[in-house]
């Protein structure tokens, strides 16, 4: 099923970095944001993708052609 709500630009950036294998700490450093903010974006994209983990998010995003 398609996304109920589209991902924000920052959620997409976070998703791409997750897919590339970066840790939350590394994502925070790359995007110049706090670790807490990375977790906030991750939770948002998990909810929008209907998943519970980083791996599931990557798989679902690939299925949807987002990455």
- Write down the pLDDT at residue 38: 98
Q: What is the pLDDT of residues 13-62, one digit of tens each?
A: 999 999 999 999 999 999 999 999 999 999 999 999 999 999 999 999 99
Range 12-29 burial, b when 16+ CB lie within 10 A, else e: bbbbebbbeebebeebbe
pTM above 0.85, yes or no: yes
Q: In angstroms, rounded to a whole number, what is the distance separating the alpha carbons of residues 34 and 48?
A: 21
* Greater pLDDT, 67 or 14: 14
- Write down the pLDDT at residue 5: 74
- Write down the pLDDT at residue 2: 61
């Amino acid at each position: 099923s398609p996304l109920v709500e589209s991902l924000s630009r920052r959620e997409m950036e976070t998703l791409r970095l997750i897919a590339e294998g970066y840790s939350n700490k590394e994502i925070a450093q790359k995007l110049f944001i706090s670790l807490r903010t990375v977790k906030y974006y991750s939770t948002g994209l998990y909810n929008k993708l209907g998943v519970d983990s980083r791996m599931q998010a990557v798989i679902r995003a690939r299925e949807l052609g987002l990455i």
